Amino acid sequence: MTLLNKIREWINIRLYPSKRGVLYFLRRASFVIALVTLCALVINYGYKLSAQEKTLVFKIVQFSLIFYLTKYIIKIIYDFHPIQFIKETKIEALLMLLILINLISLYFFDFNVLKETGNLLNIDNVDAFFNAGIQIYFLVVFLIEFGKASSILDTIKINPSLLFIYSFLILFTIGTALLLMPEMNVTGKSPEFLDALFTSISASCVTGLTVVDTGSFWSFKGQLVILILIQLGGLNIISFATLLVLFTRNNIGLRQQSIMQNNLLADSLSSSSGLLKRIFTYTFTIELIGSVVLFSTFYYQESKSFIRGYFDALFHSISAFNNAGFSTHENGLMAEGVSTAYWYHIIIGILIIIGSLGFSNIYDILSIKKRRLDENKPWLSLKIDTRISLYASAILILSGMVVFFLVERNGILADDSLFVGLVKSFFQSVTARTAGFNTVDIGLLAAPTLILLIFLMFIGASPGSTGGGIKTNTFVLIFIGTYTIIKGRANIEIFKRTIPYDLVMKAYSIMLFAITTISIGIFLLSVFEPEFSLLQLSFEQVSAFATVGLSTGITAELSVPGKIIIMVTMFVGRIGPLTLAYSLLRESKSKSYKYPETRIMVG
């Protein structure tokens, strides 16, 4: 053993001068090769390739496997504690061992170990499973390398709001490129560019407005792309990149912490990384539980295939939690068999409500008992933010449900029983607050009901969630601020706390920007879409701005200018009007002087 240690030490000493340069080269080459391989695999999935082209893709994958195997061996050689390194990377080591065995058996003995092992164990398509695992491996490698590359954010001096905007521009650009591939839809031909762009923006902005039916037009591959766009758009691609950095480095720079604090509405720089980890933990856990419940209660019996059934369950769980409103069913939740599955509607509604509360509020609700015990302070209660969100959400959902039921009882609900009518009313009240699913034909609703839904859509979800609108807390501050001014009180108070006037002014600013954006959109739509009523156009515009996705059925019939207006509105609504304003305006320098006060006539 001593001799081996001496040999290893002699090798490490001889190799040490080149270690830094070699590992640096491998890191850079790893990202490029992973990107090229991933692009090759995407092209293989997105297009019908000839035998020669498929052979080229196969060779690229083989070369990549050999490269990563070589890279792993080199890292073992350069490491001062190779055994410890293998233990720490045991999953990668196992995968590398399988790749090595399979390559040796194929090239030197013309013997496919995986195929023969599958035949021995009566496992069909073991090659397909292995290839899928290899492709997932390359995806993970690329994401890790992308996460490492995102550390460059620490050195780039860019407005966090502008970076947030860029991330969405990049996301729906990539999404559009993917959806344009022929294999992403059932026709086998490239779709119209505007249709792919509209769908990509709608999915990235978790809106749900569509110009083609998601369930009947897009293939399984296309629906998978839409699902990924929903997840990345809901949680933000910057958050994903930062999470990957945390996995690879266990820490992030001050610049990235500042960016994440701005995006996540964290209390401090140091809390942003912890909140990010909790967000992903809660998100994936809730989505997984939701998919299992949906599958076991509905899709297990309805679907012929287990894989297809669970994919549909997972798709709707992610779409509901992220308040996206996309559905793999033809005609959405109004599809035959789905429209009468009322317990299914209730489960979707619960996922929508949880997702609309906001991540920090979910954490506060789940952790309050633990904090009471840990800090030995039984009087600790929910934060003011959480209480406002809960009360406002409950009041809006219940009042919306009651009004919807009363207005439509002799209308669209006339033929339904009391239970069915209440479930439909509950679901539409919930989904109008940024989810976008519908179990009734929105185009057949009475005018007062449409106005009610516009009001609910305009307010939207709670701060820090994936939902849109001006947000519940903003509406509450505006309401209380207005009430305080009317009563002539000096301070704005809620739950025995005084609210600073700068927060109230910010709330009024958000509402003003929202009303201005919506008004401009309605004006432009009325110019380009004169065949539709003002109420229909107003509903469409508010739905797009609030990233809801409900429609009276006119989305696909809009002209090219009309679709562009809706796309821009969805984008502005997702990033937020104030975020857009902050990114466009330069930060003003503080002034040490103050002009004399004056009085002007108001009202």
Helices (H), 236-268: 237-249, 254-264
SS3 content of the chain, % helix, strand, coil (to 5): 75, 0, 25
pLDDT digits (tens, 9 = 90+) for 407-420: 999 889 988 899 99
Cα distances (Å, whole numbers) of residue 495 to 346, 467, 475, 477: 32, 25, 16, 12
Mean of the per-residue pLDDT values of the chain:
79
Residue 264 has pLDDT above 90, yes or no: no
Q: What is the pLDDT of residue 227?
A: 92
Gap between the Cα atoms of 296 and 310, Å rounded? 9
Nearest 5 degrees, angle CA 539-CA 541-CA 544? 105
pTM of the model: 0.82
**pLDDT band at residue 379 under the 50/70/90 scheme:** low
How far lies 489's CA from each of 34, 294, 343, 476, 502, in Å?
63, 50, 47, 17, 16
Question: Does the pLDDT at position 560 exceed 80?
Answer: yes
Rounded distance between C-alpha atoms, residue 98 and residue 108, angstroms: 15
Which pLDDT score is estimated for 200? 93
Tell me the three state secondary structure of residue 207. coil
Q: What SS3 string covers 283-351?
A: HHHHHHHHHHHHHHHHHHHHCCCHHHHHHHHHHHHHHHHCCCCCCCCCCHHHCCCCCCCHHHHHHHHHH
For residue 290, give the nearest of 320, 323, 327 by alpha carbon.
320
Q: Which domains does the chain have, with CATH numbers?
A: 1-155 (1.20.120), 349-584 (no CATH)
Question: What gap in Å lies between CA 188 and CA 315, rounded to an integer?
Answer: 23
- Structure-block tokens of residue 561: 């200018």
- Residue 522 CA, chain-centre distance (Å), reads 27
Tokens of 52: 């020669």
Three-state DSSP at 38 gives: helix
Reported as a single tens digit per residue, the pLDDT across 167-203 is 788 888 989 999 999 989 998 888 899 999 999 999 9
pLDDT tens digit string along 64-79? 878 878 888 888 777 7
pLDDT of residue 372: 60
